[in-house]
Structure 1
């Protein structure tokens, strides 16, 4: 049951579908009807070959022999390539080296599932069958498979980073209370509906057209060009849509495009490479798992006085994006709370597992879970309601408690308002009393309640990525073609950016067609990530639309001899003095007077900077905020639980599309709930991933959706920063709202110890882990009695 009253857009004047109105996703009907075209649905050129890959079967070792004769002689096989057949670069690390396109003879395998060779055949089935015929011999080496082993061996993919404020050691010594703890934070599989896929079509003059399911077309263009040994302009990457991505296609789509491109160049034929689900899960990265260790000092009222926090991210075998991901975990280890004396260490641990990569939240969720674990521990120690401890530690403009541990000032304090609003709308305090009474009488079933906040920084932490471009063509019938650097993965970016243009030019959204993201239309684009898609691409499109509107206005002034004030753009018409024209009529007049009806737009995010040497700066343009109340019911004899009710209040500023924003909040919450509860990744002792499909890896199903699910957009809360129409990002922040589910489960378990014992409950909080936590508290209670 969702409160979607804010999604009607009734209060936003303007043409149909313009920014601020709740309209349907531009491809929603195509998604559910099957009409939406993904890479594997495309009508491929005649003679297209199908490619597949051979994967390593050990976690760590040297390749001693690679016999591919049977592969080459298999039915339908046209070509087989190894590392030695790569014409250009062989390492496709997106930021730092360490990601070989293929592992060759004499090279060292770094994880179970690493690519050794690729085969092209006349059919998908023939390519997959042929890939199984290789004979590979290895000299195995010891494998490091856990964060603890990596820390012990001092095995890292990048150097550690440290953030400090004040004197944490002295603060801990002087604190009224002090305690230590540790938390294992699990990873997460992206589980996108469309797996990794690319189609490469060779063109004349050595060109290559790459259709790729990627969040980062420009990086794909760069790496395909470098692997082929050609200039960037020889490669065009086209991405119309992805069937989900969540970060898994920010860098990990590149390998498959590069392999298909090499085979296409060698054979002169189009080549499609699509991974089967199990191999996709083996060969591509997940959300980083983390180890958190803390030493915290606090006073009698639960206010944190000092914190020494270690965050160790399990990065896998290469740097990939881990430097930035662990940084963002460090940036968000405060979540919504002021930390006076603090020392944070971030380690990038190397293990012989697949290289972990971007995932919705990009390290931020792991940092937030670490501090929320600490807040709950303080509440148990003091006997306070965890919500009171949270409110006590919130950032505030009073007393100088408004600067983060990395030096950024919190300029818009909306969390106290959100929390107070949720306390009332969710009836938090009455439910808290009722739950305590229920738990006192119920010996097996226990209920839990938690309200947790979210403060999430918006921007790429790599400054140069905070830029975007757009291209708009207006045709003489008044129709508009829009292109920008953002990619559509189901989140509604194409819809929102089209709404921006509709509002600026005052036309119905039906007049605007958003075309596939292409590197030959808008160059040098940033990945669609960091929740910045609407912010930067919307502003770039607005910039282009304003150029066209200015040209039309200037033309009308000169042609009709009126002042600029006399030219008024209204819904689907332009008033020029006493005359009125449809948008198409004015455009047609302008065309005949040789006025340019095409414009590029550009935007770069202002104000952001960060000095790694001093670990201070303003890495984020602004913060998105929200809060969530979750109620759960736990069977303490089995560990099974059910989420019964969820109440969310989230701040999206002046929403570009309330309907899509509510959908993003709902989806993000459910995905976060899955990460923290039932989505468990498992490897065996040999480093083989055991959870390679939906039979072994469980994402939330419709039955896991809370029966009562209330979502509200915080009203009347424009962004203090000059973002696109004063909106706020909504892609990643809602995922962290689900921390309230994990906290509520622990609240239920804590009732077994009269709320004075902090349950040890790593994530994901599977029923097995919940049961172990319940048994641990029961054992402690028995020991106290004895």
Structure 2
């Protein structure tokens, strides 16, 4: 059930489809009809070759010899290349070095590309790549976070954020608890796998069709690998069939390999990964090992906290430095930690290099404090929601452990509203009564909040450009640096432009993101796509409008203040002119009808040495209340109902935003329940497809799901039309399901024990948690027979 704010339909006298109103995704009908073209749907150019790579079979080894003669002689093979054939840079690390385009003497994970093949068919390239004979000298691998922590084996230095004197606060607190949690990783499992199509240009450059969230990075790295200026490479992204962060850096490697083969052969090259190769070869959400040490009083109020988050980064830095930073920034989630220390470790392992995934470390960081909230509640025999509410950020308790002051205090109001609308208190009593009478099935309930910072933590990425063109018939063409991966960014920015000129949305067309239209773009990530590109597009519109207003005032003999744009018309004094006619008149009088726009996020900074700063422009907030039922004989469970109240500010498109909230919640629920990445003892990924890796199905959606946008919460910051980002924050609403599962298990000990439950909370882990809880309850009955029912 969706509940949209009032007044979302366009009023008479207003253009259709302006920002703040519902509008369909611009490609919705193309998706439904199968007309939307992805990389593998593009017409194949003449002479197209297909790429594949040969993989390392060792987690950590020295390559002693590589015999590729059988690969080269396979029918249909045109070229085989190794790292020795790279004319330019061999390292394509996005921030720090460590990612070879093809491995050389040393391999550092099973599945690492060591050579590439171009053949006349996809099948021939894949079969040929399997014929290589590689001799390895195995080297000792490090495969787990625990081993990396023990050896202090890191891809980047560790980092600490601290406020006050947490050690003293912990020592002085009336109560103290410690705990730990293993948080599993997650495969992106986008519908469209990694793919690209690279065509050589007539002047020695390359045109790259890429399924990437960061076309400018693809452009730059392809140029560097080929040893040519960046202007010799153009990259284009029309759409992706899902990204979720998995195409922020990972797409560049494919483009570089395909471009290298295109350079060697002089032919266009397509490179697409099978699902199994995609899962083995590309990075995932970091799994984390987290610990907490918290001190608190009888009311559950935190006095001090010492938190540690350790991410398994894989063999290279990739984006792990910033990802672990964000886990540290969000280790407080929605709660005032008081005197606090947060330490983050970037653990190196000989596994595929993990990468960005929706939330970018924030979800993993939040998990440890949410565990602590539940554990404190069980320890004090309080409702977990009571403990959470008492510790929420609010006035007077509003400075984070990294020194940023929270200026908009929506959390207490938001949680109170959801508590009431979800009927939490009555359901809590009903569920407790149900569990006392039901020996096999147990129900659980949890209401968890989120506070998520919006901005890239790398300051230079907080910028965007746009290009707006108005044609003589009044139609408008828009191009910006954001990429469309199904999230509705294109339609939102089009709505911004339509609103700027007060014309129907149908007049605005958004074209494919291209590096030769808007240069040096930031990735579409960090939930900032609408914020950055919307403001850049609005800036371009305002520049055009300034010229049009000046022209109208002169042409119609009125003051500039008397010129306004409304309902597909331009009003100048007492005259009204149709928009298209006015644009034609302006063109005939040689008035500029195009402009670029630019935006840089203000106010943000972070001193890494001090661990203090203002890294986020603002925070998005939300809360979810989930109810589950668990079969204590099998460990299986169902989510029965979820109520969500989410803060989207002044939403640009409520229907699109609610769709993002629904999808984000389900993806977060899947991360914490069914999606399990399993590795062998040698570092081989064993879950390489839908038969072994289980994303949520439609049947896993709560049958009763109620999503509402928080009313009257415009962003106090100067974002585009006071909206707030909606991409990543909803994923963390899935934490409510994990907490509800713990609540159900805790009922086996009359809610006096907080069960351990690593994620994903598979039925096997649920059974283990229930066995541990029953054992604790039995021991308590033996020691204190009158205190446990």
Common fold, TM-score beyond 0.5? Answer: yes
Using the TM superposition, name which of 760-769 and 5-14 deviates more. Answer: 5-14
Task: Kindly state the Cα deviation for residue 9 of structure 1 after the two structures are TM-superposed.
Answer: 3.7
Structure 2 residue 625 is matched with structure 1 residue 625: no
Structure 2 residue 386 is matched with structure 1 residue 388: yes
Residues 81, 117 of structure 2: 8 Å contact kept: yes
The residue that corresponds to 2:787 in the other structure is none
Residues 539, 724 of structure 1: 8 Å contact kept: yes
Residues 481, 513 of structure 1: 8 Å contact kept: yes
Out of 216, 219, 229, the position equivalent to 1:218 is 216
Structure 2 residue 293 is matched with structure 1 residue 301: no
Indicate the SS of the match to 2:203. helix
Task: Kindly state the Cα deviation for residue 619 of structure 1 after the two structures are TM-superposed.
Answer: 0.1
Distance in 2, Cα, partners of 1:11 & 1:587: 25
The residue that corresponds to 2:711 in the other structure is 715
Out of 119, 122, 141, the position equivalent to 2:120 is 122
The residue that corresponds to 1:463 in the other structure is 459
Indicate the SS of the match to 1:253. helix
- Please, which runs of 5 or more residues in structure 1 have no aligned partner? none
Task: Kindly state the Cα deviation for residue 10 of structure 1 after the two structures are TM-superposed.
Answer: 4.9
Residues 7, 657 of structure 1: 8 Å contact kept: no
Task: Kindly state the Cα deviation for residue 596 of structure 1 after the two structures are TM-superposed.
Answer: 1.1
Out of 325, 340, 345, the position equivalent to 1:327 is 325
Task: Kindly state the Cα deviation for residue 444 of structure 1 after the two structures are TM-superposed.
Answer: 1.0
Structure 2 residue 654 is matched with structure 1 residue 661: no
Map Cα deviations across residues 360-379 of structure 1 (whole Å, 9 max, x no partner). Answer: 00000011111101111101
Task: Kindly state the Cα deviation for residue 574 of structure 1 after the two structures are TM-superposed.
Answer: 1.1
Out of 477, 484, 487, the position equivalent to 1:481 is 477
Structure 2 residue 334 is matched with structure 1 residue 375: no
Residues 198, 210 of structure 1: 8 Å contact kept: yes
Residues 548, 598 of structure 1: 8 Å contact kept: yes
- Please, which runs of 5 or more residues in structure 2 have no aligned partner? 783-789
Distance in 2, Cα, partners of 1:53 & 1:482: 38
The residue that corresponds to 1:202 in the other structure is 200
Task: Kindly state the Cα deviation for residue 785 of structure 1 after the two structures are TM-superposed.
Answer: 2.5
The residue that corresponds to 1:20 in the other structure is 20
The residue that corresponds to 2:178 in the other structure is 180
Structure 2 residue 406 is matched with structure 1 residue 431: no
Structure 2 residue 680 is matched with structure 1 residue 684: yes
Indicate the SS of the match to 1:300. coil
Map Cα deviations across residues 304-357 of structure 1 (whole Å, 9 max, x no partner). Answer: 111111111100000000000000000000011001111111000000000000
Task: Kindly state the Cα deviation for residue 506 of structure 1 after the two structures are TM-superposed.
Answer: 1.1
The residue that corresponds to 1:504 in the other structure is 500
Map Cα deviations across residues 270-295 of structure 1 (whole Å, 9 max, x no partner). Answer: 11100101000000000000001121
Residues 336, 400 of structure 2: 8 Å contact kept: yes
The residue that corresponds to 1:590 in the other structure is 586
Task: Kindly state the Cα deviation for residue 606 of structure 1 after the two structures are TM-superposed.
Answer: 0.4
Using the TM superposition, name which of 666-675 and 65-74 deviates more. Answer: 65-74
The residue that corresponds to 1:57 in the other structure is 57
The residue that corresponds to 1:547 in the other structure is 543
Distance in 1, Cα, partners of 2:12 & 2:126: 53
The residue that corresponds to 2:489 in the other structure is 493
Out of 219, 244, 267, the position equivalent to 1:246 is 244
Distance in 2, Cα, partners of 1:584 & 1:5: 33
The residue that corresponds to 2:80 in the other structure is 80
Structure 2 residue 310 is matched with structure 1 residue 312: yes
Distance in 2, Cα, partners of 1:375 & 1:575: 58
Task: Kindly state the Cα deviation for residue 136 of structure 1 after the two structures are TM-superposed.
Answer: 1.0
Indicate the SS of the match to 2:327. helix
Task: Kindly state the Cα deviation for residue 672 of structure 1 after the two structures are TM-superposed.
Answer: 0.2
Map Cα deviations across residues 91-124 of structure 1 (whole Å, 9 max, x no partner). Answer: 00000000011112xx111000000111011111
Residues 9, 658 of structure 1: 8 Å contact kept: no
Distance in 2, Cα, partners of 1:12 & 1:388: 47
Residues 385, 446 of structure 2: 8 Å contact kept: yes
The residue that corresponds to 1:577 in the other structure is 573
| Distance change (3 Å), C-alpha of 1:532 and 1:11 | farther
Map Cα deviations across residues 56-77 of structure 1 (whole Å, 9 max, x no partner). Answer: 1111111111111111111111
Task: Kindly state the Cα deviation for residue 578 of structure 1 after the two structures are TM-superposed.
Answer: 3.0
Residues 6, 713 of structure 1: 8 Å contact kept: no
Residues 292, 369 of structure 2: 8 Å contact kept: no
Correspondence list, 1:523-542, <5 A: 523-542=519-538
Task: Kindly state the Cα deviation for residue 142 of structure 1 after the two structures are TM-superposed.
Answer: 1.5
The residue that corresponds to 1:69 in the other structure is 69
Task: Kindly state the Cα deviation for residue 582 of structure 1 after the two structures are TM-superposed.
Answer: 1.5
Distance in 2, Cα, partners of 1:595 & 1:267: 48
Map Cα deviations across residues 708-754 of structure 1 (whole Å, 9 max, x no partner). Answer: 00000001110011100000000000000110000000000000011
| Distance change (3 Å), C-alpha of 1:12 and 1:207 | farther
Residues 336, 455 of structure 1: 8 Å contact kept: yes
Aligned pair count?
A: 782
The residue that corresponds to 2:168 in the other structure is 170
Task: Kindly state the Cα deviation for residue 587 of structure 1 after the two structures are TM-superposed.
Answer: 0.8
Task: Kindly state the Cα deviation for residue 412 of structure 1 after the two structures are TM-superposed.
Answer: 0.2
Residues 5, 709 of structure 2: 8 Å contact kept: no
Distance in 1, Cα, partners of 2:690 & 2:322: 30
Out of 374, 391, 413, the position equivalent to 1:417 is 413
The residue that corresponds to 2:42 in the other structure is 42
Out of 715, 730, 735, the position equivalent to 1:734 is 730
The residue that corresponds to 1:450 in the other structure is 446
Distance in 1, Cα, partners of 2:335 & 2:673: 24
Using the TM superposition, name which of 567-576 and 238-247 deviates more. Answer: 567-576
The residue that corresponds to 2:786 in the other structure is none
Indicate the SS of the match to 2:596. strand
The residue that corresponds to 2:189 in the other structure is 191
Indicate the SS of the match to 1:249. coil
Map Cα deviations across residues 232-268 of structure 1 (whole Å, 9 max, x no partner). Answer: 1000000010000000010011000001011111111
Task: Kindly state the Cα deviation for residue 566 of structure 1 after the two structures are TM-superposed.
Answer: 2.6
The residue that corresponds to 1:100 in the other structure is 100
RMSD (CA atoms): 1.1
Distance in 2, Cα, partners of 1:482 & 1:164: 45
| Distance change (3 Å), C-alpha of 1:95 and 1:146 | same
Map Cα deviations across residues 682-726 of structure 1 (whole Å, 9 max, x no partner). Answer: 000111000000000000000000010000000111001110000
Distance in 1, Cα, partners of 2:629 & 2:546: 59
The residue that corresponds to 2:342 in the other structure is 344
Task: Kindly state the Cα deviation for residue 7 of structure 1 after the two structures are TM-superposed.
Answer: 8.9
Task: Kindly state the Cα deviation for residue 8 of structure 1 after the two structures are TM-superposed.
Answer: 4.1
Residues 632, 744 of structure 1: 8 Å contact kept: yes
Q: Structure 1 length as normaliser, TM-score?
A: 0.98
Using the TM superposition, name which of 319-328 and 125-134 deviates more. Answer: 125-134
Distance in 2, Cα, partners of 1:750 & 1:3: 33
Indicate the SS of the match to 2:477. strand
Distance in 2, Cα, partners of 1:272 & 1:322: 29
Distance in 2, Cα, partners of 1:441 & 1:7: 47
Q: Structure 2 length as normaliser, TM-score?
A: 0.98
Out of 152, 155, 159, the position equivalent to 1:154 is 152
Task: Kindly state the Cα deviation for residue 6 of structure 1 after the two structures are TM-superposed.
Answer: 5.4
Task: Kindly state the Cα deviation for residue 552 of structure 1 after the two structures are TM-superposed.
Answer: 1.2
Indicate the SS of the match to 2:253. helix
Distance in 1, Cα, partners of 2:637 & 2:746: 14
Map Cα deviations across residues 142-179 of structure 1 (whole Å, 9 max, x no partner). Answer: 11111001111111000000011111111111110112
| Distance change (3 Å), C-alpha of 1:6 and 1:740 | farther
